[in-house]
Structure 1
């Protein structure tokens, strides 16, 4: 494949609003706009002015504990208002916030690895352990921030804010460790400012908007929307994935920052409730479920299938998909006036992309997140960060004639059949997810004669015979090497709780394969190959760990 390029920077750099220093170094006096959040099972809210004052009080306590400019403050807890206050407090001291995945690390190890000055945890059992006075219960931040009446008291004086230079570090991202030890990357102020400027250019978040954030705020991009509220004057709501829909119904957001899995689950729930089939009726039902004021929906982090995208777009509720990595931040984004369903949008002005000779997407930036990991295994930097400063994504895709980028899968998603045919399985998985009984799926087949899948059922009482018939029909529409001649019906839906999806609802392909390895073997054994090397058209379905197969060949065919 020849090299292609898109999104080249044009002309001199455009001045960018310094959102980070605005949030960090100025007093917010906005009493009109608010942050809404859940506490003790109830929805509460603060004016942005009160949020800012509370953050200053927390900053004063951090300063008294020895935190200074460029020191790192770790937060290892689920979403809660204290998380937001700690992050804003660190900014007000010119310090660095490190978001750490909870329930996965020991405090002593995290303190040492990331060089933290303090660590706040949502697990009180970690407080007072071998890490000593450096580990604090995040619950105490509430008392630091609020008086007995539950409102911020007068904000104390802080030392003069040193101000961040564009190349300074303001956050540490901990990357996903699903394929190995987590890596740590330090984030430059310039990259945050430029990404926020690009979002503002596309979506113009403003007075009247309320942005709902429910993904973990340990992911830096989720905190962008809090910075946006303080800088641009709009509401913001903090929830979690369990209460996201309930919170949306209560506070009526105009924008929801979600992932495809969230919208897929909402679609399934609405269809189960028997919403009207016509687009207008469906749009009204979506709006009612989400509070009635949705301007648009944001999605990314994992591929969104066309079925989910059309479900919302055709109903008049835009679902705008984008693309980015921890190492690049936002690279492309669909937005009002420039979207194409199925694509991840056009390249942002400060980004540029190209494909190398192997078809792998390479991303460059005028304001990079960074050009290296600070914490990683040997060889990881060389694998991802090129000498040019670009990032090798290991994603495979293409750009259409109008400049819209399509992500077709990852190098890791290529399955090589025993006949040496290479199959990009996400394309097959997307078609399989369109079948009525399938909520999610993972396709396998490396070194095998044909593809198989593990199916996460849409309902507990999945009709296996019907699914086998639907799969046989789908096979007729696929290329021969893409066809699925056997599948396993999982014993429970893929979820974050059972470790088969990550926190961003992405498939955990390796754990799925390991958990259902024996069932996949049974499926292959049940669906034997003819002497001439061909495979029968009727797929075999087996139920995980028990139960007879559905469909497949007759006993005579198997001999």
Structure 2
């Protein structure tokens, strides 16, 4: 088994290290040898508390050494870690609800929570050692398919956070594929920024451990301040990680852009050899600019259900596409251009908790998996074109892909985020635009007017709402933890508040 062996793998490279940078920029450094010994001690404490193979154990809290230590110890013990999203703060009184809702045997919290209420017996704070808890036992614990080793949750852009049952073989395949495609060596240092409750960040940690390379965990709030110090070699992140440089370059004098851009690349450190972006629409012009500057930025595409689906790699890349399908994956286009995948070793066996009612529509009986993404195949390269469930159908039956209209705005104004929708009860399209500089509102509206002149009446934006960019955060609920716009949350916040 792959994930069971990760703690033992640590002992193969005892001098290698992980770094955990805090918001105040203090850094905790742990060698793999130290992590191994700490994991073994935690395993003993959890075992003595009555936890064992098959138990569902929640892990809750922001990224920290305690989070990944708990994850590794639980996997080695044969438990099934349940990674509970922690974007918003919760008080102690809320924790008992997690134990009941997810039918957990125990819940491990990475740090003390606000509130005066004590923690339930089945809960322990990892900063208070030794861990002592009384497991909760439920008569209706979900039955997991064979091979399922952990549960993660989707980002919730569809309105619910699906519980995804990840298998040992699927996780191993994603790690092995990445190690080969990226040629990871012990000289590499993988950057981890997004929450551990997002499975991609855990998998990156497993990749580091299995290949013997270093890993560095940095809070997103201080990422750019930390990068020059931590000097990673491999960076994966949403487009917002890279739009900072793109926007700065595009705002510079055209005659000086290239020279200044090459200098500004230092914000990512001097050792980066691979940059990957995805999980949200990727502006092709941004990728092209990075590559023109000599920076190794590539688009990549995957899903938690499948793992990596397509990727660009040095020597086999095309800007504006997500790359060619990876080994073991076949991509075909279904109705309306929907991306449908056949994977030899998919990462997920199905859904649990929420999303179960959609499982049969996603995991087809013939083994194919429906992604919900729209795409086009161009000479074997996959170009993504938005989400199928975001397609707007007007009263007259016209189908509109909002991603195309949004891209038309965002390309013209680097750094701007836009969302096009048909508000409930409305007959005409409306658009929300988030601006750092309210003074650009008239310029944006004039651009949309020019766009409208090039479109059929059904595709014209009738109303434009300008909102402050600072409201577009994970904490506000308008962004998911993957930094995607939460379209349902925007609808509730903007159009149900009376704005039209």
**TM over 0.5, yes or no?**
yes
1:381–1:53 Cα change, 3 Å: same
Q: Tell whether the 8 Å contact from 1:488 to 1:520 is kept in structure 2 after alignment.
A: no
Find the counterpart in structure 1 of residue 57 from structure 2: 73
Find the counterpart in structure 2 of residue 43 from structure 1: 27
Q: Tell whether the 8 Å contact from 1:28 to 1:230 is kept in structure 2 after alignment.
A: no
Find the counterpart in structure 2 of residue 553 from structure 1: none
Could you state the TM-score of these two structures normalised by the residue count of structure 2? 0.87
Find the counterpart in structure 1 of residue 120 from structure 2: 132
Deviation at 1:437, TM superposition (A): 7.3
Structural mapping, 1:443-458, within 5 Å: 443-445=420-422, 450-457=428-435
Structure 1 stretch displaced more, 63-72 or 339-348: 63-72
| Matched residues, number | 480
Structure having the higher Rg: 1
Could you state the TM-score of these two structures normalised by the residue count of structure 1? 0.78
Deviation at 1:442, TM superposition (A): 0.3
Find the counterpart in structure 2 of residue 54 from structure 1: 38
Which segments of 5 or more consecutive residues in structure 1 lack a partner in the other structure? Answer: 1-17, 145-165, 523-559
Q: Tell whether the 8 Å contact from 1:487 to 1:520 is kept in structure 2 after alignment.
A: no
Deviation at 1:191, TM superposition (A): 0.2
2:74 alignment partner, one of 77, 82, 90: 90
1:49–1:362 Cα change, 3 Å: same
Deviation at 1:131, TM superposition (A): 6.2
Structure 1 stretch displaced more, 267-276 or 427-436: 267-276
2:178 alignment partner, one of 183, 191, 199: 199
Q: Secondary structure at the match of 1:205?
A: coil
Distance 1:468 1:27 in 2: 55
1:90–1:212 Cα change, 3 Å: same
Q: Tell whether the 8 Å contact from 1:397 to 1:405 is kept in structure 2 after alignment.
A: yes
Structure 1 stretch displaced more, 100-109 or 67-76: 100-109
1:415 alignment partner, one of 389, 392, 395: 392
1:466–1:302 Cα change, 3 Å: closer
Deviation at 1:488, TM superposition (A): 1.1
Q: Tell whether the 8 Å contact from 2:10 to 2:32 is kept in structure 1 after alignment.
A: no
Q: Tell whether the 8 Å contact from 1:443 to 1:453 is kept in structure 2 after alignment.
A: yes
Deviation at 1:78, TM superposition (A): 0.7
Find the counterpart in structure 2 of residue 434 from structure 1: 411
Matched, 1:241 2:220: yes
Find the counterpart in structure 2 of residue 505 from structure 1: 483
Find the counterpart in structure 2 of residue 8 from structure 1: none
Structural mapping, 1:289-438, within 5 Å: 289-376=267-354, 379-401=357-379, 403-436=380-413
Deviation at 1:434, TM superposition (A): 1.7
Deviation at 1:137, TM superposition (A): 1.5
Deviation at 1:127, TM superposition (A): 9.2
Q: Deviations over 1:474-525 (max 9, x none)?
A: 4455565434343111144422222211111111112223322279865xxx
Structural mapping, 1:8-47, within 5 Å: 19-26=2-9, 28-39=11-22, 41-47=25-31
Distance 1:476 1:35 in 2: 54
Q: Secondary structure at the match of 2:374?
A: strand
Q: Secondary structure at the match of 1:379?
A: helix
Distance 1:99 1:208 in 2: 30
Deviation at 1:104, TM superposition (A): 7.2
Which segments of 5 or more consecutive residues in structure 2 lack a partner in the other structure? Answer: 132-144
Matched, 1:223 2:202: yes
Q: Deviations over 1:93-126 (max 9, x none)?
A: 1222211012477322322333322212246348
2:237 alignment partner, one of 233, 258, 262: 258
Q: Provide the alpha-carbon RMSD of the alignment.
A: 2.9
Find the counterpart in structure 1 of residue 142 from structure 2: none
Find the counterpart in structure 2 of residue 464 from structure 1: 441
